């Protein structure tokens, strides 16, 4: 089953990689599906494609740099032509997303907001009718006073759980922040919840991506589904 899912993730990734054109500035996502896309871009760069990339995490930066993709930054490229990234949930009707289980949601949202097009790649289980049914909403918070931030999020109806690393210590993002995984159940109004989360003192960013994705490429056993907003 894992091999089948990986094959479909790679299929979606390659479909997105095919959208990249010579001379583009490209946002490089984070996570298992995005890693397939970076591999595909590396292959195209070695075949002569000329692009520059802005990575959304240190691990994506390392993968891209080792593969020969030239990295850039927003000082040199304030707008990106295209970003390819994965998602933890994709709402079928609106292309609203939950992202951040990989821990890179802040940088991912910064890159997405600076992109002319955000192409989301995934396999079929990530496609849902409403967000929140299968995954918590990651919320990145500052470490100082995190107990009070946790309490404020609980008052919004969340069940916040501090994410832990494999060694038993609190997980830290590339920016040194903590993540609370917040279960709200099925989310009827993701845009309103995104605004409410953003207004909580101590919150750096949240994993609800509203109005950012332009296209979703979802690989299923019966073929590729393309959804456009």
Active site residues: 108
Tokens 């994705």 locate to 213
- Beta strand 70-71 with 52-55 is parallel
**Cα–Cα distance for residue pair 46/145, rounded to 1 Å:** 47
How many other C-beta atoms lie within 10 A of the C-beta of residue 166?
6
Strand order in the sheet with 137-141: 159-162, 178-183, 137-141, 203-206
Burial of 43 (0-12, 13-18, 19+ CB in 10 A): middle
**Cα–Cα distance for residue pair 36/6, rounded to 1 Å:** 9
Q: Where are the alpha helices (DSSP H) in 47-116?
A: 58-67, 105-113
The rounded Cα 84 to chain-centroid distance in angstroms is: 9
Closest CA to 137 of 203, 73, 228: 203
């Amino acid at each position: 089953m894992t091999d089948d899912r990986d094959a479909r993730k790679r299929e979606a990734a390659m479909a997105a990689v095919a959208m990249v054109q010579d001379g583009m500035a490209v946002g490089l996502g984070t996570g298992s599906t995005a890693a397939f896309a970076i591999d595909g871009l590396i292959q195209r760069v070695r075949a002569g494609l000329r692009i520059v990339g802005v990575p959304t995490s240190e691990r994506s930066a390392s993968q891209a740099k080792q593969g020969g993709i030239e990295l850039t930054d927003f000082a040199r490229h304030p707008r990106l032509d295209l970003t390819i990234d994965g998602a933890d949930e994709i709402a079928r009707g609106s292309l609203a997303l939950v992202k951040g289980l990989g821990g890179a949601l802040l940088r991912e949202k910064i890159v997405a907001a600076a992109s002319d097009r955000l192409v989301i790649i995934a396999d079929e289980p990530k496609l849902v009718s409403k967000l929140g049914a299968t995954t918590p909403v990651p919320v990145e918070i500052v470490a100082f006073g995190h107990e009070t931030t946790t309490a404020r999020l609980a008052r919004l109806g969340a069940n916040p759980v501090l994410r832990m690393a494999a060694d038993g210590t609190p997980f830290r993002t590339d920016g040194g922040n903590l993540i609370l995984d917040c279960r709200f159940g099925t989310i009827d109004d993701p845009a309103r919840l995104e605004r409410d989360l953003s207004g909580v003192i101590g919150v750096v960013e949240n994993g609800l991506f509203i109005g950012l994705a332009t296209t979703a490429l979802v690989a299923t056993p019966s073929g590729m589904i393309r959804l456009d907003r």
